Structure 1
Amino acid sequence: MTIGVNCGHTLHGAGSGAEGLFREAEHTRLVGQALVDLLKEAGIYVADCTIDKADTCQEYLAKVVSFANREDLDWFISIHFNASASHKGKGVEIYTYKGKQYPQAKAICEEMAKLGFENRGVKEGSGLYVIRKTRAKAMLVEVCFCDNQQDVDTYYKIGAARAVSQIIFNSICGQCRQGENEKSPGRVQEKSKEQTTFMEFVGAIARKDWKERRIMLPSVVTAQAIKESAWGTSELACKANALFGIKENGWKGRIYIKEAIEQKPDGSYYKVDDTRWRAYDNWEQSILDHNNYIATRSTDGGRSLRYGAVIGCCDPELVCWYLQRCGYATSITYAESLMKDYVVKYDLTVYDKP
């Protein structure tokens, strides 16, 4: 499955969206990026259809559609927040081509209604450029009214972007992972054949390198590879053989250029265009270079190692925490996600055993 995600509107200027009790453009990105994370964790390829800057609204819309139509998408999902002149409008609604009542779109509205939002239903959206012009099945989700105090209070009360993204994910993918995890938080997740093959490939190389060089615990290396490459399906994994998304940082080998999505301490996201990433001849090279990077990375001219606490540590939870503390990733939930969503869920400590 391939899904295109558009975090609605530009960040500033033309096409920047509604200004209510919060800025629409900021929260479309919070919801959209959380949705992207869920999709990638499920092994689904995601096409980024978000445009941060354009000179005109028409240019913005044309770019979104161009990004969507260059991929063979199963779904195009555009995230928005509503607003009304009276500030009295409230509720969730979804626009589709000719108002088609897709079960997935209806499910989103119904699940949002269960959490306290008014269900305004699935509506005729053929007049909307991104709905009319995209080739794939498309829906434009108006999460709630960002200028209505009741809606905004409900949005924050239910868990804001994370809760909304989970509802969209569950409705699109036809599964309720959140409910399953709550019922059995410690169970080992079942894996597809492709996921098992990928996990065993990375785990075997990581275990061999751990035995030989004792740099980084195999369970965490494998967890990082799964998380950062979406089980080997990410753009970097497919086009640059890069499973870990390590930036250039003194690398003398091949380079792959694409944008980076970073997270600020306040939880908001921003995009860095034309980021230079390390590229490899194969995945094994990527895994070994990742460990070399951990073993040698210094930001003070070699006087100390940035990831010194990680090297040789035999406790996966500590390794995850050290990685975040030492600044390996900008995500504020990186350590927690590595441990809970990967090491524990997929029983990756099996690769740490002699």
Structure 2
Amino acid sequence: MIINVHAGHSLKCRGASGLLDEVNEDRAVKNRVIELLRANGHTVYDCTDDVGKTQNANLRNIVRKCNDHKVDLDVSIHLNAGGGTGTEVYIYSDSSKAKDEATRIAEKISNALGIRNRCVKTSTKLYVLKKTKSPALLVECCFVDNAIDKVKWNADKCAKAIVEGILNKSVNEHPTPKPQSNTSNALGTYMITASDLKVRTGPGMKYRVKTHNELTKDAKAHDYDRDGCINYGTRVTVSKFDGDWAKIPSGWVAKRCLKKV
């Protein structure tokens, strides 16, 4: 499958808080969901927005990222508030192609955490469900302001339940990651130091741009940027890179999109 996943709200326009903090917890769930889906062989795009300063800006950013990809499913991860208890999953209408996944996710989270199953609900007002082009669902994992939900909360268990609901099968909690190939025909995002881009061809200052194979033949470590592309290269200080290319200082690294032929 090809799947969009994002955590709700942003670091600058935070969601609900109480006994749990929605932004912190939904990102923990989101990260684990993506990890498990990828480890089980599926393509996942992280469409989370961390920079939107208002609710409207945050929602527009998320939907724009989601609609940049043609996927089988859009998954929005939230935590609820308002004094209730349990988990529920929203879809746009009863005819949504995401209804089966939503039903399974609600049941599996309820069972995994031991909290009430509030089942699947429909809403034509939720922006993400209304504006995304692919089948979409929005998970309200539990209530941040309910003591029972707080005590039973476990982000890893919740993430595993979501993945099993999507895939309709049990998954290994600690799967062996599938090896990534450097010979993919897909367009990849390769993270390479600027000095790696050229090779001297003769005396003086004559250079040429390295080929795709030359740039990636020694790639060993890899990670994903926020658009789901693989970042290759071990010379970059990973602790300084948070996945947002726009924040990288000018001249520090170069981003090249190269298609293998």
TM-score (norm 1): 0.54
Instruction: Give the superposed CA RMSD.
Output: 3.4
Post-superposition offset of 1:168: 1.1
State the distance in 1 between where 2:182 and 2:140 align.
Answer: 32
Post-superposition offset of 1:169: 1.0
Give the letter for the 1:98 counterpart: S
1:70 matched to which residue of 2? Answer: 68
State the distance in 2 between where 1:139 and 1:232 align.
Answer: 33
Residue by residue over 1:44-87, the C-alpha shift from the partner in whole angstroms, topping out at 9 and shown as x without a partner, is 22122111122321111111111111110110000000011xx3
1:5 matched to which residue of 2? Answer: 5
In 1, are the aligned partners of 2:108 and 2:162 still within 8 Å (CA)? no
2:52 matched to which residue of 1? Answer: 54
* 1:95 aligned onto 2:90: yes
* 1:105 aligned onto 2:102: yes
Correspondences of 1:173-252 after superposition (within 5 Å): 173-178=167-172, 226=179, 229=180, 238-240=187-189, 242=190, 248=193, 251-252=194-195
In 2, are the aligned partners of 1:232 and 1:238 still within 8 Å (CA)? no
Query: Aligned in 2, Cα 1:122/1:286: closer, same or farther, shift over 3 Å?
Result: same
2:115 matched to which residue of 1? Answer: 117
Give the letter for the 1:103 counterpart: D
Q: Which structure has the highest helix share of the two? A: 1
Identical pairs, percent: 32
Higher relative contact order (CA 8 A, sep 6+): 2
Correspondences of 1:281-300 after superposition (within 5 Å): 281-282=211-212, 285-290=215-220
Post-superposition offset of 1:147: 1.1
Correspondences of 1:150-189 after superposition (within 5 Å): 150-155=148-153, 160-178=154-172
Query: Aligned in 2, Cα 1:92/1:284: closer, same or farther, shift over 3 Å?
Result: farther
State the distance in 2 between where 1:283 and 1:28 align.
Answer: 38
In 2, are the aligned partners of 1:2 and 1:45 still within 8 Å (CA)? yes
1:254 matched to which residue of 2? Answer: 197
* 1:142 aligned onto 2:140: yes
Residue by residue over 1:104-137, the C-alpha shift from the partner in whole angstroms, topping out at 9 and shown as x without a partner, is 1111111122231100010012110000111100
Q: SS at 1:90's partner residue?
A: coil
Post-superposition offset of 1:233: 9.8
State the distance in 1 between where 2:219 and 2:7 align.
Answer: 33
Q: SS at 2:93's partner residue?
A: helix
Residue by residue over 1:229-274, the C-alpha shift from the partner in whole angstroms, topping out at 9 and shown as x without a partner, is 4x5699xx7324x4xxx663xx51239xxxxxxxxxxxxxxxxxxx
State the distance in 1 between where 2:156 and 2:60 align.
Answer: 29
1:83 matched to which residue of 2? Answer: 81
Query: Aligned in 2, Cα 1:287/1:123: closer, same or farther, shift over 3 Å?
Result: same
4+ runs deviating over 3 angstroms: 231-234, 279-285, 327-330
State the distance in 1 between where 2:52 and 2:239 align.
Answer: 32
Q: SS at 1:61's partner residue?
A: helix
In 1, are the aligned partners of 2:3 and 2:75 still within 8 Å (CA)? yes
- In structure 2, stretches of 5+ residues that fail to align are 199-208, 222-232, 242-261
State the distance in 1 between where 2:10 and 2:239 align.
Answer: 28
Q: SS at 2:187's partner residue?
A: helix
**Number of matched residues?**
217
TM-score (norm 2): 0.71
Query: Aligned in 2, Cα 1:161/1:283: closer, same or farther, shift over 3 Å?
Result: farther
State the distance in 1 between where 2:110 and 2:183 align.
Answer: 34
Query: Aligned in 2, Cα 1:329/1:61: closer, same or farther, shift over 3 Å?
Result: closer
Give the letter for the 1:174 counterpart: N
State the distance in 2 between where 1:25 and 1:105 align.
Answer: 21
State the distance in 1 between where 2:137 and 2:183 align.
Answer: 24
Q: SS at 1:46's partner residue?
A: strand
Give the letter for the 2:197 counterpart: R
Query: Aligned in 2, Cα 1:59/1:46: closer, same or farther, shift over 3 Å?
Result: same
Give the letter for the 1:286 counterpart: T
